Structure 1
């Protein structure tokens, strides 16, 4: 008997149309509230809804997102950053509590960052930050609670010279960036959790800190982002799974799409529609062999829904 992954791979390779059962019409996406995932989930929702599905997302903490997939309360999560999530969530993969559908982004980064003027002043590594507690008022700015465990563990373990006097400020992505904006406007020092893709890489001159490999991995937390699902999703919903396995974004798509949300104030689905209109060539690969829920060829239907000729 074929494994679920082998069955899906065989069907994908053969170009076989994959029919989804009625229970697959509703697709539940786990969302962390990060702007990159707001954009990618909105992109998936726009496409799925055009195909006749009913897709939506629920904002959860990172750990709860994994547990929700394990328990079957969510279907898909587009935010499995590797290797940074490997250690904390290894058991989920080893025990089959989640399944990998495919890579959705390569060339990402995820580690501590400072404004370029701070780096030019000599702060280039994690250890440099730890040695200059007064400069940073003992604060590292993170995002929402549940997504800063790497930083909290780093401080608790005393890595790189940090100690218990340091505070990881847990707010939200928007809250953190407001602190970055405030500091940059005054040319004050600040250390914060930075990542790419994100319009912070376009809007500010920032420098990623070296020396944090033990916590974030090599190459400034160099990462590949994967899409994962609840167990059995690919077998039950092979057409939707095919779409997710082919949804491979680019850094430009995400950097500029996220800017539409953060700077232009567009709702995520509006931003996704606008970015797809700018980069319609992506749809060809994403929708290869994908059908509507009722079995029609998917690409022309999605293009028509988006007003793309």
Structure 2
């Protein structure tokens, strides 16, 4: 009897040891699998249009098991970071304006997906400037605006387009560059007293919800309707194949982006909360992007 009991105890002990060993192996394999997920860095430019898609992408990538970081920089620096691999993804590439960066860094970066199309951009004036409906109408009234045209930061490639526009339309004006917020603040100060003012505008942006403004016609076609794309470093496909696949399927309506910007700016709802709300309300779109 003692031998039987002893044999049973020995068998149970062996089973316990084997079970613990298997659990340890599974835990070890799980930990190794988790460690295999690299950190993905998202480039963020100082534009309101960049925030909603970046926040949505971060939430979904984190759900996939990735650690995600954001790095703030102007457009030029963001593309340099992409080319070096310091930045993996940029959710807000504007084309054809950003063609210059793709051409310069074509060996290391790529256009991965179209986020949305028909994003208009160009010169904007207040609606009370009733006789100004085309860029050509600015000719001869430059002094009324102190010969100044307000633009965004100098690092943005659009500043070169605006300088070209000033030259091609033979306007006696100088581009005054500042941040997006600084540009709009300067324009709003002029608009408070209904002074003539011209500045750079684009969609998606809340300026068209908040201000009574209009975009000027561009007969020379210097500004084209933009396509917004996801840009990635070429090594991402090998580094994080499932993340790359998800980003390859990325798409979001322009109107949705503009609505989210409005919630973040006007209603002061945290960007991450706005992004999560969009995910919750658009599970069909999310599933399609995730390939589910």
Q: For this structure pair, what is the TM-score category when the shorter chain's length is used for normalisation? A: 0.7 to 0.9
Residue 303 of structure 1 aligns with which residue?
Answer: none
- Out of 85, 89, 112, which is 2:101 matched to? 89
- Out of 201, 213, 223, which is 1:206 matched to? 213
- Out of 233, 242, 246, which is 1:243 matched to? 246
Residue 57 of structure 1 aligns with which residue?
Answer: 70
8 A Cα contact 1:21 1:236, kept in partner: no
Q: Which runs of 5+ in 1 are unaligned?
A: 1-19, 290-309
8 A Cα contact 1:105 1:249, kept in partner: yes
* Residues 62 and 107 of structure 1: CA distance in aligned 2, closer, same or farther (over 3 Å): same
Residue 124 of structure 1 aligns with which residue?
Answer: 133
SS at match of 1:255: helix
8 A Cα contact 2:102 2:110, kept in partner: no
- Out of 147, 157, 182, which is 1:138 matched to? 147
Measured after TM superposition, the shift of residue 278 of structure 1 is 4.5
1:171 pairs with 2:178: yes
1:180 pairs with 2:192: no
Measured after TM superposition, the shift of residue 279 of structure 1 is 4.1
Measured after TM superposition, the shift of residue 144 of structure 1 is 2.1
Residue 15 of structure 2 aligns with which residue?
Answer: none
Pairwise mapping of residues 1-309 of structure 1 onto structure 2 (< 5 A)?
22=35, 24-86=37-99, 88-92=100-104, 95-118=106-129, 121-147=130-156, 148-155=159-166, 158-163=167-172, 166-211=173-218, 213-216=220-223, 221-289=224-292
8 A Cα contact 1:98 1:231, kept in partner: yes
What RMSD, in angstroms, separates the aligned Cα atoms of the two structures? 2.2
Which sits farther off after the overlay, 137-146 or 32-41?
137-146
SS at match of 2:104: helix
CA distance in 1, matches of 2:41, 2:188: 34
8 A Cα contact 1:25 1:52, kept in partner: no
8 A Cα contact 2:116 2:229, kept in partner: yes
Q: Which runs of 5+ in 2 are unaligned?
A: 1-32
8 A Cα contact 2:34 2:65, kept in partner: no
* Residues 169 and 266 of structure 1: CA distance in aligned 2, closer, same or farther (over 3 Å): farther
Measured after TM superposition, the shift of residue 145 of structure 1 is 2.5
Measured after TM superposition, the shift of residue 212 of structure 1 is 5.7
Task: Report the TM-score, using the length of structure 1 for normalisation.
Answer: 0.76
* Residues 214 and 24 of structure 1: CA distance in aligned 2, closer, same or farther (over 3 Å): farther
Measured after TM superposition, the shift of residue 277 of structure 1 is 4.0
Task: Compare CA radii of gyration and give the structure with the larger one.
Answer: 2
CA distance in 2, matches of 1:241, 1:62: 21
* Cα-to-partner distance string for 1:139-175 (whole Å, 9 max, x where unaligned): 11112231123223444xx220124xx2322221112
8 A Cα contact 1:92 1:98, kept in partner: no
CA distance in 2, matches of 1:225, 1:209: 21
Task: Report the TM-score, using the length of structure 2 for normalisation.
Answer: 0.80
